[in-house]
Structure 1
Amino acid sequence: MEIIGQQKITGKVGAVYTAAGESFTTQPVESLALTFEGIIGDRHAGFTRRAGGREPWYPRGTQMRNERQISILSLDELADIAADMGIADVRPEWIGGNLTIEGIPHLSMLPASTLLFFEGGVTLKVDFQNLPCRVAGSAIAENYPDREPDGLSLDFVKAAKRRRGLIAWVEIPGTIRAGEAVRARIPEQWIYNGALTE
């Protein structure tokens, strides 16, 4: 079994956003104030959340740990998604992004348990890739009234596979500001194939 050792890579925060109230979309802000529950005032904040379509192994509405406190995106990946969809732009706020990170290639491919250390003292822990869904696709379609909305929302699901960014939760709270440095500590990795051999 091949094991890839721990790695470190540095990038920076591009912009930060929050979803106030019940809106899925986010708005740009100067900084994000974080507690252990997530972004103060954001609709995804909380220690727990209710299970939905992403967790078919639980009855809908089951209370579970909230690993989806923060949505992290790459502008490069969003540009690739837009190109594949045949549209000019996919903006972070349209699909509920909380922050963009620049300088870390293939951001969405960072593995689970990657730690993101921010210059201001915050640490986020990556749970996994944020899987693309039609809800986000529909939010994009609202910005392209000349396109057929159902087609565009389905196009997003295909185009955004493995490029939809990451979901993370707060390990060390504090404040994240646009422009600050962020260091990714990527854990040791391997592919588990069930039948382990030495």
Structure 2
Amino acid sequence: MPNEGVVLQVLAPNDDQDIESNPGGHSVTQPVDQLMVDHAGITGDRHRGLTRRSTPREYPVYRRTAAQIVNRRQIFAVSPDECTLLTERLGVAITPQLLGSNLVIGSSDGTPFYLSDLPVNTYFAISAGNAEEPSVPPLATLVHYVQQKGCSRTGNAVAKAHDNPELVARFVEVSEHRRGILCSVEYPVAEPVALTEGQRVHFRFPMGSCY
């Protein structure tokens, strides 16, 4: 895995994030100049918040109680190589927008890699594009929470874009372990900062600690 990457694209939610009024399109994102983020997530995004209700993904622990839990699913990041691989597997164009991603992060030297392969709890220390090392503290710090799973909601977005209902199930199947990752925002806390194209991402891997 590379030690650093670069933000190639930032994407914000579309203008209608309601699944009832915009089925198959509510999760699709759109390119923007910047994302304003703090420890609650992205300003204006439906995933923003310090807490959220548990979902079927937490079923082994919370069952169907919709318990209020800490929100670590605030930002969705993919690499361009994950989009390329899914495009090859499905035979239709899979873009970061269709996946619903917020950040597209590539390696700084262009070497292919998958964000999905990064260890859980990897730090993303974000700095200016010309920084060889992140400032202390960084401009922003994201923490890798979990791999994003293939889901039928995103499959519906892909199927709608390509007018092919069969793509729903196929997307869920082929995107396993190659769909990108979900992150939480650890820093900043006091004031939001802007994430923009060209910023450097320094990967800092978990080391463990004494308690």
Tell me, yes or no, if the aligned pair for 1:117 and 1:184 is still in contact at 8 Å.
Answer: yes
How many residue pairs align between the two structures? 179
The 2-side partners of 1:94 and 1:43 are apart by 16
Pick the aligned partner of 1:9 from 3, 6, 9.
3
Match of 2:185 among 160, 165, 170: 170
CA drift of 1:17 comes to 0.8
1:140 — aligned with what?
Answer: 158
TM-score (norm 1): 0.85
Q: Is 1:25 equivalent to 2:34 in the alignment? A: no
CA distance in 2, matches of 1:187, 1:171: 14
Q: Is the 8 A contact 2:114 2:180 kept in 1?
A: no
**Match for residue 200 of structure 2 among 178, 181, 187:** 181
Q: Is the 8 A contact 1:77 1:106 kept in 2?
A: yes
- Give a deviation string over 1:81-111, Cα, whole Å, max 9, x none: 1111121x11111121001001172211101
Q: Give the distance between the partners of 2:2 and 2:104, measured in 1 at CA.
A: 18
- SS class of match (1:54): helix
Query: RMSD of the TM alignment (CA)?
Result: 1.7
Match runs of 1:88-127 below 5 Å? 89-103=93-107, 105-120=113-128, 121-127=139-145
Conserved 8 A contact 1:53-1:60: no
Q: Which amino acid aligns with 1:53?
A: P
> C-alpha separation between the residues in 2 aligned to 1:159 and 1:69?
24
| Counterparts in 2 of 1:8 and 1:187: CA distance versus 1, 3 Å | farther
Whole-angstrom CA distance in 2 between matches of 1:156 and 1:187: 31
Distance of 1:33 and 1:159 partners within structure 2: 32
TM-score scaled by length of structure 2: 0.80
Amino acid at match of 1:109: D
Q: Secondary structure at the match of 1:46?
A: coil
Using the alignment, how far apart are the partners of 2:86 and 2:207 within structure 1? 29
Partners of 1:134 and 1:165 lie apart in 2 by 16
Greater strand proportion: 1
Per the TM alignment, residue 188 of structure 1 is displaced from its structure 2 partner at its CA by 4.6
Distance 1:109 1:65, change over 3 A: same
SS in 1 for 2:56: coil
Report the secondary structure of 2:58's partner residue.
Answer: coil
Q: Which residue of 2 aligns with 1:40?
A: 43
Q: Which amino acid aligns with 1:126?
A: H
- CA deviation digits over 1:100-144, x for unaligned, max 9? 001172211101110001114111000011111111111111111
